[in-house]
Amino acid sequence: MSEPRVRRAEIAIEQTHVDRVYTRLAELRTQAEAMRAKGYELGHGAQREAVFEQASMLFERDMMVYHANQQLQTLDAEYEGLVFGRLDQTSGEAVYVGRLGIRDAEFDNLVTDWRAPAAAAFYQATAEEPMDVVRRRVIRCSGQTVLDVDDDVLMAEAVPDDMRIVGEGALMAALGRARGEKMRDIVATIQREQDEVIRAPWRGVTEITGGPGTGKTAVALHRAAYLLYRHRRQLGGAGVLVVGPSGVFTNYISRVLPAMGETNVELRALGEVLDGAEGTHQDPARLAAIKGSLRMRKILLRGLRDTPPDVPTEMRIVYKGQVLKLTAKELEKVRRKVHVQGGPPNRSRVRAAETLLEALADKAEEHAEDRPVDRAELITELGERIDFHRFLVVWWPVLSPAEVLRWLADEPRLARAGKGLLNRDEISALAASFADRSRGWSVADVALLDELRVLIGPPPKRRRRVQQVELDAAPTQRGSTGTGPQRPEHYDEYSHIVVDEAQDLSPMQWRMVGRRGKYASWTVVGDPVQSSWPDPAEAAQARDQAFGARTARRRYTLRTNYRNSAEIFDLAARVVAGTAAEGELPHAVRTTGLVPEVRTVEPATLDGSVRAAAKELLDAVEGTVGVICAMDRVPEIEGWLAGHTDERLKVVGSLDSKGLEYDAVVLVEPTELITESTTGRRVLYVALTRATQQLTVLASDSDWC
């Protein structure tokens, strides 16, 4: 038979199996719906009332409905390519691998879940270690239709006469395909080195490092799905949190887990980790470096212990015909005394009242001359007086994180808090940033708000709503990948935390994320060469503290770049040649023959050059085109490209391009990317490694290369 006919025949064989699977899926769906209906029925009908009263019956009903709903949710997930693999073993048996496990009515396996041990050989078998696999086949479907098959022979000597082999490599085909708006899962083509990381033990800390495009994000997300499948009892209840660098990024990866049927995972950008506050923009690098450093903790503590603005500066109260007066200085002494004893101020009002009453008793004694003062009587009597309480609530107000951070917009106040920790320029820059309300909170501010939340303590219960409003809109289940368990408003404990682009977390952000995983296990993904954080040692210290005293710590390095063509990666690697250590850069496996184009442009006509380059690339590739520039250039370039209506075109700032990818990239003024950040060349390296197929660099100088 000719090659196309063999291929068609093999596709037809697989189509028969895929049809059986979808027929069975429909049956299972009907069964699950029937079970749910039966469950609801248990709770209705007067004749059943006697039975219904029994708690066990109620429980049974809830469990039935719950399980049926769970099953329906799993069956209804967007299963593009439900069956994607087949293993032909030396025993002659064929095992189909897919996104979930399905058995037929006789309980025989129709599809094995990719996460089950029985499917491991699909990813781990090699020609050197074939694990009894003769042929590994990747099946590519669109909906319920098989489009293609692609084989790997692992034991050439064991191939039976009637076994046909087709294809030229599923991985290369997958890597060459056009990119869309959202990241795709890679279940069909996970590579062995990646599979090892995905299936690593769940406890402790698993660190994944590797250069750009090595699949770190893909691997981390597949690991989350794998862990929930294998250890749902340990991890499912408290849930899994995935933290990514930006909202653009979490949106980009948001389809991967639902496509694998996993909904019990919360995705949050760093600016969204704290409920009720949202970091909407990035600070300039210098400012972000101050806000992220550990010294901020001390500054915040001092700041919140300072006298709140607008509190009364004098207290007068009449006791037994005598006016007892505390001056501003004396009141501050009382405030300091309360704070010195430690504890969050929102929990210290009673102590503040007691200390104030003691000070009033001292005052009474001062005035009493030789007459003795009954201190206990004075304290009881004044402590019950309405005017005393009115004073107390304004003098020791309930604090909110947002309010305290805004106090620091006042330069003299910030100078007091930052004494010995901030220089004059830093004070001005920081105060100006807190004063600017036009853009809402920055991403770095959110970690400060979270720190303050803990330092201040929760507000007394009846004021809770007030604080919520203060922090912003009411919290929602942001970023959840679906209909996972509903959590309480201030839920902040997870059983497993995945941190992506971990090299960029500031020490304050590590503290914030660490609070959410006091008892969690971790998967931490990063690439030191892409780091934009200026003090890695301080960040490492905060990160280790976040992990706590967990002993198990394993580290994996991924070394193959699956994203960039070798031609594009060569150019990117040259940019960091001086700063990256030997062996830190990955190896790009795919060549396209398309060398990146570097064009010298005139600043005055840059707009025209950007438009022309974007148009050329939109014509050249099938998928997305990204125009990457320095952060503060974004609005200007968006303006230049406003005429382009093609949805495949996106303008993105350098820092926001982390983790993303496009079929083609126009990189605008590379030197500006170097100078805008404290870690310059690394930011440019990140930007240059976003393109899968084509890259055009527009530069008015040659300083960058």
Ligand X SMILES: Nc1ncnc2c1ncn2[C@@H]1O[C@H](COP(=O)(O)OP(=O)(O)OP(=O)(O)O)[C@@H](O)[C@H]1O
Binding residues for ATP: 210-217
Reference 150, options 164, 133, 160, 131; nearest CA is 164
Biggest CA–CA distance in the chain, Å, is 119
Smallest gap from Cβ 173 to ligand X, in A, equals 9
Q: Are 64 and 57 in contact (CB under 8 A)?
A: no
Smallest gap from Cβ 193 to ligand X, in A, equals 9
Smallest gap from Cβ 683 to ligand X, in A, equals 13
Strand partners, 588: 561
Smallest gap from Cβ 562 to ligand X, in A, equals 4
Cα 627 to the center of its chain, rounded Å: 24
Provide the 10 A C-beta neighbour count for residue 476: 10
Up-side HSE of residue 557: CA atoms within 13 Å toward CB?
9
Reference 240, options 190, 202, 280; nearest CA is 202
102 or 208: whose CB is closer to ligand X? 208
98 or 659: whose CB is closer to ligand X? 659
315 or 655: whose CB is closer to ligand X? 655
275 or 504: whose CB is closer to ligand X? 504
Cβ-in-10-Å burial (0-12, 13-18, 19+) of 5 comes to: exposed
Q: Catalog residues that contact ligand X under the rule CB under 6 A.
A: 171, 174-175, 184, 186, 189-191, 194, 210, 212-218, 527, 562-563, 659, 661, 689
Q: Distance (Å, rounded) from C-alpha 476 to C-alpha 564?
A: 37
Determine the Cα angle at 578 with ends 574 and 581, to 5°. Answer: 100
Smallest gap from Cβ 179 to ligand X, in A, equals 7
137 or 511: whose CB is closer to ligand X? 137
278 or 527: whose CB is closer to ligand X? 527
Smallest gap from Cβ 528 to ligand X, in A, equals 11
Torsion of CA 480, 486, 489, 490, to 10 degrees: -70
459 or 626: whose CB is closer to ligand X? 626
Q: Distance (Å, rounded) from C-alpha 625 to C-alpha 264?
A: 32
Run of H or E including 441: strand 441-442
Q: Distance (Å, rounded) from C-alpha 215 to C-alpha 560?
A: 8
User: What separation in angstroms does the CA of 330 have from each of 299, 360, 390, 690?
Assistant: 24, 10, 19, 61
Smallest gap from Cβ 688 to ligand X, in A, equals 10
Cβ-in-10-Å burial (0-12, 13-18, 19+) of 321 comes to: exposed
Smallest gap from Cβ 616 to ligand X, in A, equals 23
Smallest gap from Cβ 177 to ligand X, in A, equals 9
241 or 660: whose CB is closer to ligand X? 660
Binding-site residue set: 210-217
Smallest gap from Cβ 659 to ligand X, in A, equals 4
210 or 261: whose CB is closer to ligand X? 210
191 or 678: whose CB is closer to ligand X? 191
Torsion of CA 476, 482, 487, 491, to 10 degrees: -70
Run of H or E including 59: helix 55-76
Determine the Cα angle at 477 with ends 440 and 545, to 5°. Answer: 75
Q: Is the dihedral of CA 109, 231, 660, 559 positive or negative?
A: negative
